[in-house]
Amino acid sequence: MDHAHFFLHLILLFLFCISTSYGLDNGVGRTPPMGWMAWERFRDVVDCTSFPDRCVSEKLIKEHIDILSQPEWQEAGYEYVDIDDTWMSTSRNSQNVLSWNATRFPSGMKSLADYAHSKNLKLGIYQDMGTKTCVGYPGVCKDQNCTLPGYMDIDAQTFASWGIDLVKMDGCNSVHTSEILDRGYKYFGKQLNNSGREMIYSCSWPDYIRLAGITVNYTDIAEHCNIWRMYNDVQDDWGSVLNIIDWVGDNQETLIKAAGPGHFNDPDSLMIGNFALSYTQAESQMALYSIMAAPLLMGNDLRNLDPKFKAILISKEVIAINQDPLGVQGRRLVHTAACGGNNYYDVWSKPLYNGDLAVVLWNRCPYGVPEKMTVDWKTLGIESNEEIMAVRDLYQEKELGNFTGSISLYVDIDGVRMLRLRKFGRDDAGSKSITS
């Protein structure tokens, strides 16, 4: 790298740090968290007699810890194993301290966290900003107005003493006003930060404000949470995934401003490897979540995962886009709704730390054949149509060649082509030719 490029690189990095200085500064979640979460596949199944392999239990969590400790998952970057609702006893003890369900979690949460840590993984847990969790277990609030401090001080210290690494805070069973939710989520976040243990803080705060019809201040939420749910729960259904991705695209101007290292928008779990998504749809969700800088939290059964879906989930060059240290959330550049004539597709892009550009071409046309998609340099923000760009296909992990002005590729139905574009002839640390 020459001196001019070196100083340009430092200046860009300095300006980026200033522009995102409002974010939560608890030292964790500098890139989107990656891992597995129990809820979307196992929900609130607690009958271990009838469903011994599907109930939310120590056995289920340990089996997933064992799988994610395997080298290919570790190398891909997955590290969090997150328990959701139903892990608790139905009431607090005489000191108002939470306990686990002793039948389903006989060894307790500290033991389970220690087990995860021994496998080079981290354990996440669930609570609720209400009197009860969504399923009906004890929440952090003593009343529906969530009068402070409730049980928040106690629970934050309890989670820290167990060695918990991520806390998901839901929002059922309280009065959903911005005053109550803002106050509660901010207060609990401070208690986590004061607990003496670094923990990812995952908030459902903005989703409950949205549902109440209140305008969400995402940059304010970014000051207090590492990741936050903004929209509907994802279901094992392609229509649900489409709806969420389209909502993110429709609201991107607001959402992008709040995202950055340590604070990311969370569109909910990856449905890859469950029942509904085809192979091309699974590739699409993975690519789009990666370009959106979304947490990559799988909501599947890793014990019965088809190898072809596993290959998507550990696609190293796709994951590299998600984990890019710049932390920028990608932008939807093209969104059309007429099928035929190369018009029913989306184009997303994301600037990367070294000056490259990630691009997703997404074929949304219901016709049962591949569609040819074209995108030009002007649309992508490349400064000159005369620029020669080296293009790499990230799923195929191969170079496609050098292109000038535009690129045209066939894309399967419901599928994507995920690309990395680089100015031809420059090294990794060269000057930028792409505007963000």
Please state the pTM of the whole predicted model. 0.92
Q: Hey, is 132 helix, strand or coil?
A: strand
Which of 364, 368, 372 has its CA nearest to residue 337? 364
**Catalytic one of 128, 155, 165, 170:** 170
CATH topology of domain 20-322: TIM Barrel (3.20.20)
Q: Hey, is 376 helix, strand or coil?
A: strand
For the chain, give every residue range classified as CATH 3.20.20.70: 20-322
pLDDT in tens, 270-279: 999 999 999 9
> Is 25 annotated as catalytic?
no
For the chain, give every residue range classified as CATH 2.60.40.1180: 330-423
Residue 249 region, left (φ>0) first, then alpha (ψ -120 to 50), else beta? Answer: alpha
Tens-level pLDDT at each residue, the chain (436 residues): 443 333 334 333 333 343 333 346 688 999 999 999 999 999 999 999 999 999 999 999 999 999 999 999 999 999 999 999 999 999 999 999 999 999 999 999 999 999 999 999 999 999 999 999 999 999 999 999 999 999 999 999 999 999 999 999 999 999 999 999 999 999 999 999 999 999 999 999 999 999 999 999 999 999 999 999 999 999 999 999 999 999 999 999 999 999 999 999 999 999 999 999 999 999 999 999 999 999 999 999 999 999 999 999 999 999 999 999 999 999 999 998 667 655 578 999 999 999 999 999 999 887 888 989 999 999 999 999 999 999 999 999 999 999 999 999 999 999 999 999 999 986 654 444 444 4
Amino acid at site 328: V
Q: How many Cα atoms within 13 Å fall on the side-chain side of residue 139?
A: 25
Strand 296-298 to strand 264-266: parallel, antiparallel, or no bridges (unpaired)? Answer: unpaired
The residue behind tokens 């021994």 is 118
CA 334 to chain centre: 23
What φ, ψ does residue 264 adopt, rounded to 5°? -135, 145
The residue behind tokens 């993110």 is 248
Per-position DSSP letters for 169-212, written without gaps between them: EE--SS---HHHHHHHHHHHHHHHHTTTS--EEEE-HHHHHHHT
- DSSP annotation of 214 reads -
Alpha-helical runs (H) found in 29-175:
39-42, 58-68, 71-76, 109-118, 152-162
Q: Would you state the CATH architecture of domain 330-423?
A: Sandwich (2.60)
Q: In this predicted structure, what is the pLDDT of residue 368?
A: 82
pLDDT in tens, 303-355: 999 999 999 999 999 999 999 999 999 999 999 866 765 557 899 999 999 99
Which of 271, 273, 256, 290 has its CA nearest to residue 416? 290
Q: In this predicted structure, what is the pLDDT of residue 425?
A: 80
Q: Give the neighbor-by-neighbor strand order of the sheet with 80-82.
A: 264-266, 227-229, 200-203, 166-170, 122-128, 80-82, 34-37, 296-298
**Catalytic one of 233, 237, 246, 393:** 233
Q: 129-152: string of b/e by CB count within 10 Å (b at 16+)? A: bbbebbbbbbbbbeeebbeebbbb
Q: How many Cα atoms within 13 Å fall on the side-chain side of residue 204?
A: 23
> Is 233 annotated as catalytic?
yes
The residue behind tokens 């901010």 is 186
The residue behind tokens 């109930």 is 55
